[in-house]
């Protein structure tokens, strides 16, 4: 008797039982990977998770999460788990384990949670995966070679000089964060969009949606019912986010049209911007559309603002607290680029600011601008005694990895010599402020040159010292690392500094 003949002779109860079994088996097959991952999650240590909402309440407490991260390796070992709603994620801390994941082209897909950024960053290099990411990376990478990047030093210098002009001319205590963020946005306006800081279009740029952008993804993660698009799209937050995305797209299209016209008459000696390179890529590669240009422009503008701004502000704050390293940086600046602020520094001079670069790196170790990253692994990975199945969501916490005591003794101490010329070679996956491997930040060299130029300009003009009563910093977690209450520094014009 065949299966179908048996069904024909079955009673209603038997038929219902058969169909139920088929449905259950089908669901078990579909969710077998998820159940396998959940089973592993229940075996691993991690912060206390609540039914259904998991660790979402912990994530909402931005000050708590920084304290928890700093002690995570001590508390849980090299592999831990967290729950985002009903989705388990596995936190990998050790550089050797991170190397297996970050160095492999089989694990370049981003976590499903990056989809929450599509209405903010678009589908650019940060949020895309698979063929789109690899093809865009290959096309854009040549625009970030060091010879091209060093041509942006004049742009960095102009914006840094504008920052100096806006700072008070007498000794004062101020929150450097806002000043630095505006400077970085000025840099990106010219370097990405081609609008110079001294341009007549400055009023227009003040109204730029890139200056006013707001990311909603963290709010959705801490309110897990909003992870479902069918619910989220009914909210005012979704409407506001879509309106913001439309403003970003419309503004970007306007900038693209402007640069297309300018490119027709651009001479070899004129400054170029990243938009120019992407327009040329699009002209030569029809698959790289105007929508792709917009997504990548949004990625560079929005991701580049907070990350570099935070790094510069934290470095200035730390140099104010550590006078010996500030003095060493200043003498290095005197030696290699001089103190005449009317002259832009040379590329060679910026390259020679090695102690300043070490200070920036140590600042990024302590306060990485992007404190959290996530990947979806493409094949089984062995981490310690556990086998992580393909499809597992991995969380990477630079804030925690940068505090591993067996790699960085006395990890809370600011010690730029960890990155000095005589420092011992370390595992490259132990320092990951810009990620690492094939999916590292495409603009990290750009960022280092930018940060060195801006900080050097500030130190040429001001001596920094701690602001009384504001010497401590309390990091809080958003999309980028911030300091609660800002970063306050006493700034004294160099001409009134008494040696």
Helices (H) and strands (E) in the chain, counts: 24, 11
The pair of three-digit structure tokens given for residue 363, joined into one six-digit string: 């600042």
Structural domain of 334: 31-496
To the question of whether residue 273 is assigned a binding role by annotation, the answer is: no
Q: In the chain, how many domains are there?
A: 1
Q: Does position 64 have pLDDT exceeding 80, yes or no? A: no
Over the stretch 349-379, which tens digit does the pLDDT of each residue have? 999 999 999 999 999 999 999 988 999 999 9
265-295 residues labelled b (16+ CB within 10 A) or e (exposed):
eeeeeeebbbbbbbbebbeeeeebebebbbb
- When the pLDDT of each residue in the chain is averaged and rounded to a whole number, the result is 88
Q: Residue 466: which pLDDT band, with cuts at 50, 70 and 90? A: very high
Over the stretch 90-102, which tens digit does the pLDDT of each residue have? 999 999 999 999 9
Q: Does position 329 have pLDDT exceeding 80, yes or no? A: yes
Closest CA to 431 of 360, 378, 329, 326: 360
User: pLDDT > 70: what percent of the chain?
Assistant: 90
* CA pair distance 378, 380, nearest whole angstrom: 7
Alpha-helical (H) ranges within 266-289 are: 274-284
pLDDT at 51: 86
pLDDT at 222: 83
Residue labelled with tokens 């199945």: 389
Mean pLDDT, range 138-153, rounded to an integer: 93
pLDDT at 471: 86
User: 354-366 and 290-321 helices cross at what angle (nearest 10)?
Assistant: 100
pLDDT at 496: 39
* CA pair distance 445, 425, nearest whole angstrom: 20
Q: How far is CA 326 from CA 49, 186, 356, 463, in A?
A: 44, 26, 8, 8
360-394 residues labelled b (16+ CB within 10 A) or e (exposed):
bbbbbbbbbbbbbbbbbbbeebebeeeebbeebbb
pLDDT at 49: 86
Beta strands 87-92 and 79-84, pairing class = antiparallel
Q: Which helix (H) or strand (E) holds 489?
A: strand 488-493
Contact 185, 210 (CB under 8 A): yes
Over the stretch 434-447, which tens digit does the pLDDT of each residue have? 999 999 999 999 99
Q: Which residue would you say has higher pLDDT here, 325 or 200? A: 325
Q: Residue 499: which pLDDT band, with cuts at 50, 70 and 90? A: very low
Q: Does position 297 have pLDDT exceeding 90, yes or no? A: yes
Whether 7 maps to a domain, the answer reads no
What CATH number did the domain enclosing 319 receive?
Answer: 1.10.630.10
Q: Residue 235: which pLDDT band, with cuts at 50, 70 and 90? A: very high
Q: Which residue would you say has higher pLDDT here, 219 or 66? A: 219
Q: Residue 285: which pLDDT band, with cuts at 50, 70 and 90? A: very high
Whether 59 maps to a domain, the answer reads yes
pLDDT at 113: 87
Mean pLDDT, range 251-267, rounded to an integer: 92
Q: Does position 399 have pLDDT exceeding 90, yes or no? A: yes
Q: Does position 289 have pLDDT exceeding 70, yes or no? A: yes
Q: Does position 478 have pLDDT exceeding 80, yes or no? A: no
For residue 329, count CB atoms less than 10 angstroms from its CB and return exposed for 0-12, middle for 13-18, buried for 19 or more: buried
Q: Does position 3 have pLDDT exceeding 60, yes or no? A: no
* CA pair distance 417, 424, nearest whole angstrom: 10
CA torsion angle 334 339 343 345 (round to 10): 30
Contact 73, 404 (CB under 8 A): yes
Q: Give the three-state DSSP class for 197.
A: coil
Instruction: List the beta strands (DSSP E) in 206-284.
Output: none
Q: Residue 480: which pLDDT band, with cuts at 50, 70 and 90? A: confident
Lowest mean pLDDT among 124-128, 299-303, 493-497: 493-497
Q: Does position 187 have pLDDT exceeding 70, yes or no? A: yes
Q: Which helix (H) or strand (E) holds 91?
A: strand 87-92
Residue labelled with tokens 């995966």: 129
The pair of three-digit structure tokens given for residue 349, joined into one six-digit string: 């001079």
Q: How far is CA 136 from CA 125, 288, 436, in A?
A: 7, 8, 18
Residue labelled with tokens 């994941």: 101
Which residues fall within 8 angstroms of residue 214, CB to CB, at 6 or more apart? 240, 244
Whether 8 maps to a domain, the answer reads no
Q: Does position 347 have pLDDT exceeding 70, yes or no? A: yes
Backbone φ and ψ for 393, nearest 5 degrees, come out as: -90, 125
pLDDT at 498: 39
For residue 337, count CB atoms less than 10 angstroms from its CB and return exposed for 0-12, middle for 13-18, buried for 19 or more: buried
Beta strands 87-92 and 393-396, pairing class = parallel
pLDDT at 52: 83
Instruction: List the beta strands (DSSP E) in 316-471.
Output: 373-376, 381-383, 386-388, 393-396, 462-466
pLDDT at 34: 86
User: pLDDT > 90: what percent of the chain?
Assistant: 63
Closest CA to 159 of 135, 127, 192: 192
Query: DSSP state, 173?
Result: E
Q: Does position 66 have pLDDT exceeding 90, yes or no? A: no
Residue labelled with tokens 């390293």: 325
Contact 496, 463 (CB under 8 A): no
pTM recorded for the entire structure: 0.91
Mean pLDDT, range 421-428, rounded to an integer: 79
pLDDT at 6: 57
Whether 196 maps to a domain, the answer reads yes
Q: Does position 236 have pLDDT exceeding 60, yes or no? A: yes
pLDDT at 1: 56
Contact 184, 305 (CB under 8 A): yes
Q: Residue 204: which pLDDT band, with cuts at 50, 70 and 90? A: low
């Amino acid at each position: 008797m065949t299966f179908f003949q048996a069904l024909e002779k079955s009673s209603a109860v038997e038929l219902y039982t058969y169909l139920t079994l088929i449905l259950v088996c089908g669901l078990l097959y579909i969710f077998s990977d998820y159940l396998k991952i959940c089973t592993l999650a229940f075996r691993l240590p991690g912060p206390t998770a609540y039914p259904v909402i998991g660790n979402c309440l912990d994530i909402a407490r931005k000050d708590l999460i920084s304290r928890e991260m700093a002690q995570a390796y001590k508390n849980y070992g090299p592999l831990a788990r967290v729950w985002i709603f009903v989705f388990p994620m596995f936190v990998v801390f050790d550089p050797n384990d991170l190397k297996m994941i970050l160095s492999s082209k089989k694990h370049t897909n981003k976590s499903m949670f990056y989809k929450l950024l599509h209405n903010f960053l678009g589908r650019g290099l940060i949020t895309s995966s698979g063929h789109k990411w690899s093809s865009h990376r290959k096309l854009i990478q040549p625009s970030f070679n060091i010879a091209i990047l060093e041509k942006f030093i004049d742009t960095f210098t102009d914006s840094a000089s504008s920052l100096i002009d806006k700072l008070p001319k007498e000794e004062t205590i101020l929150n450097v964060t806002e000043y630095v963020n505006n400077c970085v946005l000025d840099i990106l306006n010219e370097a990405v969009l081609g609008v110079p800081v001294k341009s007549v279009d400055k009023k227009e740029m003040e109204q730029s949606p890139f200056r006013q952008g707001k990311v909603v993804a963290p709010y959705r993660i801490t309110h897990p019912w909003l992870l479902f698009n069918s619910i989220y799209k009914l909210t005012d937050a979704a409407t506001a986010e879509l309106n913001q995305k439309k403003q970003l797209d419309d503004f970007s299209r306007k900038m693209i049209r402007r640069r297309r016209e300018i490119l027709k008459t651009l001479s070899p000696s004129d400054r170029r911007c990243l938009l120019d390179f992407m327009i040329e890529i699009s002209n030569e590669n029809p698959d790289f559309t105007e929508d792709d240009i917009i997504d990548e422009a949004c990625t560079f503008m929005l991701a580049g603002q907070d990350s570099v701004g935070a790094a510069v502000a934290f470095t200035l704050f730390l140099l104010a607290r550590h006078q010996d390293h500030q003095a060493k940086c200043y003498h290095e600046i005197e030696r290699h680029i001089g103190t005449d602020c009317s002259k832009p520094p040379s590329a060679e001079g910026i390259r020679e600011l090695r102690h300043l670069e070490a200070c920036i790196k140590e600042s990024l170790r302590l306060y990485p601008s992007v404190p959290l990253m996530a990947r979806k692994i493409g094949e089984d990975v062995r981490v310690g005694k556990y086998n992580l199945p393909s499809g597992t969501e991995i969380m990477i916490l630079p804030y925690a990895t940068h505090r591993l005591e067996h790699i960085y003794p006395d990890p809370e101490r600011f010690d730029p010599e960890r990155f000095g010329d005589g420092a011992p070679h370390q595992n490259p996956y132990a320092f990951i402020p810009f990620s690492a491997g094939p999916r590292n930040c495409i603009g990290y060299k750009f960022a280092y040159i930018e940060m060195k130029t801006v900080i050097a300009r500030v130190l040429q003009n001001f001596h920094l010292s701690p602001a009384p009563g504001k010497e401590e910093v309390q990091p809080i977690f958003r999309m980028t690392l911030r300091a609660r209450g800002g970063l306050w520094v006493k700034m004294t014009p160099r001409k009134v500094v008494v040696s």
